[in-house]
Every structure is written in C-alpha cells, then in structure tokens.
Amino acid sequence: MERKKYILIIIMIFSNMISYADYHKRIYKAFISGNMIEWEKIIMKMEKKRHKSLDFKIELINYQIGYIGYCVGEKRYKEARKYIKIAEKNIEILESNNYKASKSITYRASINGLRIGMNNFMALFLGPQILKDTKDALDKDPENTDALILMGNSKFYMAKVLGGSVQAAIEYYSTAEKIMVRNKNLKHNWNYLSLLSLIAHAYEKVEKLDMADKYYKKILTLEPDYMWIKNDIYPKFLKQYEK
C-alpha cells in the first residue's frame, strides 16, 4: 500500500512537470506571435487547474502579469483590473505559505506598477512603495531577475530629479541578462526576449544606436519569428539608424 502511494505521488509530479512544460512553450509561442487571445486562454486554463503546486502558481502569476501588462498597454483597464484581482489571490497563497518571498514581493510591486500605468496620479502614492518593495525583494534574493528588471523599469521611467536614469536602467537590465544566461534559463522564455527588447530600447533612448542594433540582431538571431520586433520595431529602428 505504501509503495502504491509513492508511485502515485511520482506519477502526479511527473504529470505536473509535463503540463508545466507544455504551458511554458505555449505561452512563448503566443508571445512571439502576438497572439494574446491564446495567452488569455492559457492562463484561464491554468487558473482552473486543480492541485496547483506553489511553483506552478509562481509561473501562472508571471503569465498573468504579462497579460495584465498587455491589457494596460491597450487601455483595456476593466480587463486588467479583473486579472489583477485573480493574480493577487494567487500572490496571497504564496505569502500565506511564506514561499519564495522575494518573488511574491516582486509580483506585488509589479502589479502596483501596472496600476500606475492605468492612472499616472497613483505614482505619488505607489511609486515609493514599489521602490521599497523592489529593494526588499533584491535584499532577499539579489539574483531575482524579475526584481532587477522591475528596478530597471523604475529607473527608466522615473523623472531625473527623483533619481531616474536610463543608464542605471541598462545596468539593472544587463545584470538580469547575465544571470539568465548563466542559469541557462533561455529556451522558450518570453521574459528573456522581453528583457532583450528593453535593453535595445534603452540603448536607443540614450542614442547608442550601435548597441541597440546589436541587441535587435541578437533577438532576431535567437528568435527569427518574434513578430513584433521583426515586422514593426526593428524596421522602424533601421530607418532611423540608416540616417
């Protein structure tokens, strides 16, 4: 009886690993193709899955935040708020289990950043809290790439008089990139492609166009089918670069 119990546990773990890998790959494909309808279907299916492990929830929250970011960018604020509520419930489960605190802190800070995206006035209240939380997350785990990227975003968008600096943002982004490369966390990783896009855009912002071009080429070498960069961003950049 005891042997059967352990066999069942192993089967369940293996099943979750297969399922996790499948979602990971499907989200990546949705990302590079810009198919956000498919992205939403995936996170809805993952949310409905029973017996979710805490690591599964961490990945789900990551995908949910990605989708919320898309909704905010498209000014679909009602939908964004709907998924913020769902994501925050998942974050609460991580917190109640005291599981990977650096991640849950980063996710809360990320959601607050998206709230600012819906209402710039919120920056007065949420901005200092986001910085505090992001620093706390990095104190707990200096190699938390999500927190490094969030700190980079804060520096990128913050006014200079408040400590904003595109160059500082590039440094945070570059540190996150080095950690991802070192950990070999690159295959089917939408976060990595997104990070390389941030770096390219930041170099473009400070008019280091050779470096921006290098990163755009790096993205398209890694993933030639990343449609947003291939068909929109890079062709527009080349027109400017060639001038």
pLDDT tens figures, 100-122: 999 999 999 999 999 999 998 88
Cα dist from 60 to 55, 63, 116, 226, whole Å: 9, 5, 22, 22
180 has pLDDT over 60: yes
> Do 46 and 85 share a domain, yes or no?
yes
Residue type, 109: A
> Do 10 and 57 share a domain, yes or no?
yes
Look at residue 50 in the predicted model and tell me its pLDDT. Answer: 79
17 has pLDDT over 90: no
> Do 133 and 163 share a domain, yes or no?
no
Region 15-36 average pLDDT = 80
Alpha-carbon distance of 113 to 73, in angstroms, equals 12
> Do 39 and 125 share a domain, yes or no?
yes
- Which CATH number do you get for residue 226? 1.25.40
Residue 79 lies in a domain: yes
Q: CA torsion angle for 192, 171, 175, 113 (degrees, to 10)?
A: -60
19 vs 62, higher pLDDT: 62
Residue 147 lies in a domain: no
> Of the residues 110, 141, 172, which one is the last residue of a structural domain?
141
Query: What confidence category does residue 11 fall into, taking pLDDT thresholds of 50, 70 and 90?
Result: very low
Residue 100 lies in a domain: yes
Residue 40 lies in a domain: yes
Look at residue 19 in the predicted model and tell me its pLDDT. Answer: 53
> Do 129 and 164 share a domain, yes or no?
no
Residue 24 lies in a domain: yes
137 vs 7, higher pLDDT: 137
Q: What are phi and psi of 37, to 5 degrees?
A: -65, -45
Q: Is residue 47 exposed (0-12), middle (13-18) or buried (19+ Cβ within 10 Å)?
A: middle
pTM of the model: 0.88
Q: Which residues contact 32 (CB under 8 A, 6 or more apart)?
A: 190, 193, 223, 225, 226, 227
| CB contact at 8 A, 124 and 116 | no
Concatenated DSSP letters of 215-240: HHHHHHHH-TT-HHIIIIIHHHHHHH
Half-sphere exposure of 191 (CA within 13 A, CB side): 24
Look at residue 79 in the predicted model and tell me its pLDDT. Answer: 97
184 vs 225, higher pLDDT: 225
Query: What confidence category does residue 20 fall into, taking pLDDT thresholds of 50, 70 and 90?
Result: low
Mean pLDDT for the chain? 90
Alpha-carbon distance of 84 to 102, in angstroms, equals 19
Look at residue 150 in the predicted model and tell me its pLDDT. Answer: 95
> Of the residues 117, 141, 165, which one is the last residue of a structural domain?
141
Alpha-carbon distance of 192 to 184, in angstroms, equals 11
**For tokens 């068909």, what's the residue?**
231
> Do 242 and 124 share a domain, yes or no?
no
Q: What are phi and psi of 35, to 5 degrees?
A: -90, 85
Structure-token pair, residue 9: 């546990």
CA 199 to chain centre: 14
Q: Please state, for a pLDDT cut of 70, what percent of the chain lies above it.
A: 91
Look at residue 184 in the predicted model and tell me its pLDDT. Answer: 87
Residue 146 lies in a domain: no
Q: Which domain holds residue 71?
A: 1-141
Look at residue 240 in the predicted model and tell me its pLDDT. Answer: 83
Region 78-88 average pLDDT = 97
- Count of domains in the chain? 2
